Amino acid sequence: MEELTQSRISILIHLGAALFMGWLSILIGNIYGDLVAIVIGIGVLITVGFGTEKVLKKKGMAWWFGNGIIFYLFFWLIAWIIFFNL
């Protein structure tokens, strides 16, 4: 796969996980507390990151930071805020 395709796949995977965790964080936060939701969200980020690295055969923190971590954290926060206000 070429670099641009791998980047797009990584971003879409992290985006889907972030939107799902934004919704799930509201449910977890209401039951167990926001700190537990944040810890689970970070755990999902790490799990998705390692899974994406294996699938795309990419290594390195810099690549993962630019093609996963930033998008995940941004969209997780946005989704959490949207679902919180519903």
What residues make up the domain containing 11? Answer: 3-85
pTM for the complete prediction?
0.88
pLDDT per residue as tens digits for the range 13-59: 999 999 999 999 999 999 999 899 999 999 999 999 989 888 888 77
Q: Which of 54, 48, 42, 61 is CA-nearest to residue 12?
A: 48
How many domains does the structure of the chain reveal?
1
What is the pLDDT at residue 1?
64
Helix ranges, 1-86 (H) = 3-31, 34-56, 61-64, 70-85
